[in-house]
A and B are shown apart, each in its own frame.
Chain A
């Protein structure tokens, strides 16, 4: 049970600044997901919390204790790595027990803790196997088990699902969520996958080029993005951006409209566009239209609506409330 605080944390490698001052307050038991494109510094931030990467300036506190100088082990954290990082020559049991053995935990307690973690993760039949004899999903569970047995204050996940196939990823996503709820351990989870971020997070942090652009509940972030980057990154298909002047908005530089907020009509509304192609996904249909100036606009509509045929001219309409206006600096107006 712990809180985690990042106070104006910065990181530079030589002259290059990677993290430009991040502030985060994680309350006890909260599940925080850091999401962002590759190279935005999210993994570096996580590794700084873990103690695998030095902190250039600022402060990281776990339970209000400064941990900047502490070794990973003293920070009372556990980490799940992207490629699992299981010790290849050790059995599943030994992999999970290794940290406890180093900490000189009594043997019977090690056995008890590993047994309960194995039960929780349905790994009991595999305890004597080597990692290479396990499937991807099972290895992932062992990596989680190794984190659980240490009863850490904070769980750190570094893109733990990116090595799994799509179906397994969905299943493990649910399991991680359940597990975190059950154990109630404060967690920090890094991913580039916005679906993981939306589904797992109590609050999510959208990172862009070393800056936390927005911190908030997933739906809040989705409905009310604070920057142009967040509006474009969160949501799939991505938000449509148009120059403010071109649609008669006098303030700001660009206007973003989510695909589901645009309605296609035959009668004149706001803009006219030609249907380029349609993607019918069953429950919904994505219609891609080309504006007279060549820009592509995506519209998401219900799968029950008739498919517009390619090449027809349609009108795009939306409510004023659907418009997200961004200024020159990319910030929301």
Chain B
């Protein structure tokens, strides 16, 4: 009886307090995004005149179509396409490379196997910024500046993903490999028919994380793309800021910011179920 009363009490005040706390938290995090959205639907004079408006204006279609079709330096639609190609290229490339390298490291005995693993692991300790000068040199010498390959290739190897797949492959029971051998499957058939389908939740989780990583790349595209038609959206926003006495077109910049958030949000929402399953269980 007393236990039940405890439940009721919790459902009363505690319940509301918990929800209140969570709602305040959500509002707190959401507020800047709301401001950006509001700013993207009003006119330039309305933004610069204090106080800042807190309710959306009537310039939604004007601002967004201006951003998408002409932008400041380059049309946002084009920058979004560039970002999409770069993010997908990095994501798919990383997954393919790390899957195959993890497969090699876990399932094959070849000379220097441990050395290769540690070499891959070592790159975890070097962030992009540390090796950015030599990487730039290499890409420039290959003539890959202002190209998709220049945007994608330097970021395509992933120690984290390799490590993750290695750990997952190590949990796959040896008997499964042996059963496949007895069934007559070649190593690559084992990879395609058994290992790959078993890793699909891990792949989905990685896809989400890596897509956002690729989409949000800032420093690297900023360095190697000078041609506005190769700009990506995240660096493009920065490029829109005026230098010197120019006037910033804040509504268009804010519209661009909102647009830049849309694809990652779509990816997260559409893969949410698989993503959480991939992080929580490995489905064995």
Q: Which residues of the partner chain B approach A51 to less than 8 Å between Cβ atoms?
A: 181-182
CA distance A81 to B180 in the complex (A): 12
A102 contacts partner chain B, Cβ-Cβ < 8 Å: yes
A52 touches which of B178, B189, B284 (Cβ 8 Å): B178
Q: Are A71 and B194 in contact (CB under 8 A)?
A: no
Q: Are A89 and B197 in contact (CB under 8 A)?
A: yes
Q: How far does the Cβ of B197 sit from chain A's closest Cβ, in whole Å?
A: 4
Q: How far does the Cβ of B273 sit from chain A's closest Cβ, in whole Å?
A: 17
Q: Are B178 and A73 in contact (CB under 8 A)?
A: no
Q: Are A82 and B183 in contact (CB under 8 A)?
A: no
B17 contacts partner chain A, Cβ-Cβ < 8 Å: no
CA distance A78 to B193 in the complex (A): 19
CA distance A311 to B284 in the complex (A): 55
A285 contacts partner chain B, Cβ-Cβ < 8 Å: no
A126 contacts partner chain B, Cβ-Cβ < 8 Å: no
Q: Are A102 and B175 in contact (CB under 8 A)?
A: no
Q: Which residue of B lies closest to A102 (CB)?
A: B184
B181 touches which of A72, A82, A146 (Cβ 8 Å): A72
B283 contacts partner chain A, Cβ-Cβ < 8 Å: yes
Q: Are A83 and B175 in contact (CB under 8 A)?
A: yes
Q: Which residue of B lies closest to A100 (CB)?
A: B183
A161 contacts partner chain B, Cβ-Cβ < 8 Å: no
Q: Are A79 and B198 in contact (CB under 8 A)?
A: no
Q: Mark A104-120, 1 if CB is under 8 A from B, else 0.
A: 00000000000000000
CA distance A254 to B189 in the complex (A): 57
A88 contacts partner chain B, Cβ-Cβ < 8 Å: yes
* A residues lining the B interface (CB < 8 Å): 50-52, 71-73, 77-79, 81-83, 85-90, 98-99, 102-103, 146, 150
Q: A82-B175, A88-B198, A88-B283 are in contact. Are A77 and B193 (CB under 8 A)?
A: no
Q: A81-B179, A83-B173 are in contact. Are A99 and B184 (CB under 8 A)?
A: yes
Q: Which residues of the partner chain A approach B184 to less than 8 Å between Cβ atoms?
A: 71-73, 99, 102-103
7 A-B pairs (CB sep. < 8 Å): A52-B178, A73-B181, A73-B183, A77-B182, A81-B178, A87-B176, A98-B180
With A82-B175, A83-B175, A87-B194 given, name 15 new contacts (CB 8 A). Answer: A51-B181, A51-B182, A52-B178, A71-B184, A72-B178, A73-B181, A81-B175, A81-B179, A86-B179, A88-B283, A88-B284, A90-B197, A98-B180, A98-B183, A150-B183
CA distance A82 to B173 in the complex (A): 12
Q: Are A79 and B182 in contact (CB under 8 A)?
A: yes
Q: How far does the Cβ of B182 sit from chain A's closest Cβ, in whole Å?
A: 5
CA distance A103 to B189 in the complex (A): 12
CA distance A314 to B197 in the complex (A): 68
CA distance A89 to B194 in the complex (A): 8
CA distance A89 to B192 in the complex (A): 12
CA distance A29 to B33 in the complex (A): 75
Q: How far does the Cβ of B199 sit from chain A's closest Cβ, in whole Å?
A: 10
Q: Which residues of the partner chain B approach A99 to less than 8 Å between Cβ atoms?
A: 182-184
B88 contacts partner chain A, Cβ-Cβ < 8 Å: no
Q: Which residues of the partner chain A approach B85 to less than 8 Å between Cβ atoms?
A: none
Residues B170-215 near A (CB distance < 8 A): 173, 175-176, 178-185, 189, 193-194, 197-198, 200
Q: Which residue of A lies closest to B284 (CB)?
A: A88
Q: Which residues of the partner chain A approach B180 to less than 8 Å between Cβ atoms?
A: 87, 98
Q: Are B182 and A78 in contact (CB under 8 A)?
A: yes
Q: Are B198 and A85 in contact (CB under 8 A)?
A: no
Q: Are B178 and A85 in contact (CB under 8 A)?
A: yes
Q: Are B197 and A85 in contact (CB under 8 A)?
A: no
Q: Which residues of the partner chain A approach B284 to less than 8 Å between Cβ atoms?
A: 88
The 8 lowest CB-CB distance pairs between A and B, nearest first, are A73-B184, A85-B175, A99-B183, A85-B179, A89-B197, A81-B175, A102-B184, A72-B182
CA distance A83 to B178 in the complex (A): 12
CA distance A86 to B175 in the complex (A): 9
Q: Are B179 and A102 in contact (CB under 8 A)?
A: no
Q: How far does the Cβ of B19 sit from chain A's closest Cβ, in whole Å?
A: 37
Q: How far does the Cβ of A167 sit from chain B's closest Cβ, in whole Å?
A: 25
Q: How far does the Cβ of A161 sit from chain B's closest Cβ, in whole Å?
A: 15
Q: A83-B173, A87-B194 are in contact. Are A52 and B181 (CB under 8 A)?
A: yes
CA distance A88 to B173 in the complex (A): 11
Q: Which residue of A lies closest to B185 (CB)?
A: A102
Q: Which residues of the partner chain A approach B193 to less than 8 Å between Cβ atoms?
A: 87, 98
Q: How far does the Cβ of B85 sit from chain A's closest Cβ, in whole Å?
A: 32
CA distance A78 to B180 in the complex (A): 11
Q: Which residues of the partner chain B approach A50 to less than 8 Å between Cβ atoms?
A: 178, 182
CA distance A82 to B175 in the complex (A): 9
CA distance A87 to B182 in the complex (A): 13
Q: Which residues of the partner chain B approach A146 to less than 8 Å between Cβ atoms?
A: 179, 183
Residues B96-146 near A (CB distance < 8 A): none
Q: Which residue of B lies closest to A75 (CB)?
A: B182
CA distance A98 to B186 in the complex (A): 12
CA distance A78 to B182 in the complex (A): 7
CA distance A77 to B184 in the complex (A): 10
Q: How far does the Cβ of B188 sit from chain A's closest Cβ, in whole Å?
A: 12
CA distance A102 to B200 in the complex (A): 22
Q: How far does the Cβ of B178 sit from chain A's closest Cβ, in whole Å?
A: 5
CA distance A78 to B184 in the complex (A): 10
Q: Which residues of the partner chain B approach A72 to less than 8 Å between Cβ atoms?
A: 178, 181-182, 184
Residues B239-284 near A (CB distance < 8 A): 283-284
Q: How far does the Cβ of A109 sit from chain B's closest Cβ, in whole Å?
A: 16
CA distance A52 to B177 in the complex (A): 10
CA distance A71 to B185 in the complex (A): 11
CA distance A71 to B189 in the complex (A): 15
CA distance A71 to B183 in the complex (A): 10
